[in-house]
Amino acid sequence: MSNLMKAVQINSFGDRNVLMLNDIAIPTPADNEILIKVKSASVNPVDWKIREGYLQPMLNHLLPLTLGWDVSGEVAAIGKNVDNLKVGDAVYSRPDITKNGSYAEYQTVAADEAAIKPNSLTWQEAAGVPLAALTAWQSLYEFAKLEAGERALIHAGSGAVGQFAIQLAKLRGAYVYTTTSSRNTELVKSLGADQTIDYNKEDFSELKDIDVVFDTIGGDTQANSWKTLKKGGRLVSVTENPDHAIATKHGVSASFCFVQPNREQLEKLAELADAGKLKVNIDSEFTLDQVAEAHDRSETGRAQGKIIINVSA
Ligand SMILES: NC(=O)c1ccc[n+]([C@@H]2O[C@H](COP(=O)([O-])OP(=O)(O)OC[C@H]3O[C@@H](n4cnc5c(N)ncnc54)[C@H](OP(=O)(O)O)[C@@H]3O)[C@@H](O)[C@H]2O)c1
């Protein structure tokens, strides 16, 4: 095979025009890494936030950088210390976001950041799971420690993270309220939401005695969420570091979750998907030479599920 591959990279920060489809060398896996022949990648809002340079103070990326941190594909090669995966395995991953991403024909990933892909999901569906579902898992199960019988308010239930959050909260045995626009009411109910609040017409801040708020919006949404919590309640945000002084004033706790790679959690998510307990909704599909259009779609803030980049699927 040629030692070159196609990859969508940036060499400066900015709008969609900084995206370039380049021919670059296929990377070689380090001792602890696998080389994935990418079938599908998915787009997350963090991709265009990184493209714009918003996260540079935190992530300090070196350029050129290949974007995209959600992948499904086949193991094409393994490093000499890898013993949990072999060439030919079908895998999926949310890899280390400080390294080159998945908008490419091949990607190297640490072997402990990848798991066997859920059998029952297509390459596209599998690529849509890792980043958004791990975010929901870590926010609800690890940060908020959501328990059976608790009342959870999940903001933006129709978003990629929100859709997994509704399903994981229901699997935990919680009662789920979610904010959504009316066009997405049936969608979030189909995922298990018990009560929907149309954020264009109703005031979610009138809710009371919520145990856990999952904030996927920030700004006024976070500000108006505090008073819905009961004393001792927990707010976890993935968009904006909550103000701990405000949390204390309301007698609640607050945390910020920045999703981390996690093989064991990917394995559990795969089990749920294969048991028919985790649905993946695809909003739209693009190809590697249409990443700018895929970013446009994500930046509308109106996606109803995952935005997929088909690489070789
Ligand atoms: N910290 C982390 O590790 C982490 C990880 C993943 C994501 N995030 C962040 O979490 C946010 C959500 O990510 P995502 O992938 O779920 O985004 P997404 O899929 O692009 O979210 C789009 C959805 O948000 C809904 N929405 C927009 N404004 C709303 C509002 N005011 N109230 C309720 N719903 C609203 C839209 O529904 P309507 O069209 O019905 O309005 C749409 O379905 C992003 O800011 C992302 O960067 C952070």
CATH number (domain holding residue 172): 3.40.50.720
Same domain as 123, residue 141? no
pLDDT digits 0-9 by tens, 158-184 = 999 999 999 999 999 999 999 999 999
Tell me the best of 54, 55, 96, 180 to mutate to test the pocket of ligand 1, counting ligand atoms within 8 Å of each CB and taking the most.
180
pLDDT top residue among 313 and 119: 119
> Distance from the CA of 149 to the center of ligand 1, in angstroms?
25
Sequence-ordered list of residues with C-beta below 8 angstroms from that of 308, at least 6 positions apart, any chain: 40, 41, 42, 43, 124, 127, 128, 282, 284, 285, 286
213 domain residue, yes or no: yes
151, pLDDT greater than 70:
yes
Same domain as 139, residue 115? no
What pLDDT is stored for residue 222 in this prediction?
98
Evaluate: CB of 238 within 6 angstroms of ligand 1: yes
pTM recorded for the entire structure: 0.98
Same domain as 190, residue 113? no
> Considering its fold, how many domains does the chain have in total?
2
Same domain as 241, residue 301? no
289 domain residue, yes or no: yes
Same domain as 204, residue 105? no
What pLDDT is stored for residue 284 in this prediction?
98
pLDDT digits 0-9 by tens, 24-79 = 999 999 999 999 999 999 999 999 999 999 999 999 999 999 999 999 999 999 99
Is residue 295 within 8 Å of residue 16, measured between CB atoms?
A: yes
CATH number (domain holding residue 82): 3.90.180.10
Same domain as 140, residue 101? no
Same domain as 101, residue 78? yes
Instruction: Give how far Cα 158 sits from Cα of 153, 198, 284, 301, 312, Å.
Output: 13, 11, 14, 11, 28
Evaluate: CB of 216 within 6 angstroms of ligand 1: yes
What pLDDT is stored for residue 60 in this prediction?
97
How large a percentage of the chain has pLDDT more than 70?
A: 100
Which residue has the least CA distance to atom 34 on ligand 1?
Answer: 156
Per-residue confidence band for 313, with pLDDT thresholds at 50, 70 and 90:
confident
272 domain residue, yes or no: no
196 domain residue, yes or no: yes
117 domain residue, yes or no: yes
pLDDT digits 0-9 by tens, 171-229 = 999 999 999 999 999 999 999 999 999 999 999 999 999 999 999 999 999 999 999 99
pLDDT digits 0-9 by tens, 257-300 = 999 999 999 999 999 999 999 999 999 999 999 999 999 999 99
Of 240, 256, 272, at which residue does a domain stop? 256
Q: How many CA atoms lie within 13 A of 245 on its CB side?
A: 0
Per-residue confidence band for 233, with pLDDT thresholds at 50, 70 and 90:
very high
266 domain residue, yes or no: no
Q: The domain containing residue 78 runs over which residues?
A: 4-129+280-310
Sequence-ordered list of residues with C-beta below 8 angstroms from that of 17, at least 6 positions apart, any chain: 292
Which residue has the least CA distance to atom 40 on ligand 1?
Answer: 181
Which residue has the least CA distance to atom 23 on ligand 1?
Answer: 159
Per-residue confidence band for 1, with pLDDT thresholds at 50, 70 and 90:
low
Same domain as 211, residue 159? yes
242 domain residue, yes or no: yes
Same domain as 144, residue 223? yes
By C-alpha distance, which of 231, 234, 262 is closest to 131? 262
Evaluate: CB of 180 within 6 angstroms of ligand 1: yes
Which residue has the least CA distance to atom 27 on ligand 1?
Answer: 301
Evaluate: CB of 253 within 6 angstroms of ligand 1: no
Is residue 234 within 8 Å of residue 214, measured between CB atoms?
A: no
Same domain as 138, residue 107? no
> Distance from the CA of 153 to the center of ligand 1, in angstroms?
14
Same domain as 208, residue 111? no
Same domain as 168, residue 154? yes
268 domain residue, yes or no: no
Evaluate: CB of 162 within 6 angstroms of ligand 1: yes
- Tokens 């060499």 map to which residue? 11
CB neighbour burial string for 61-73, b if at least 16 within 10 angstroms, e if fewer: beeebbbbbbbbb
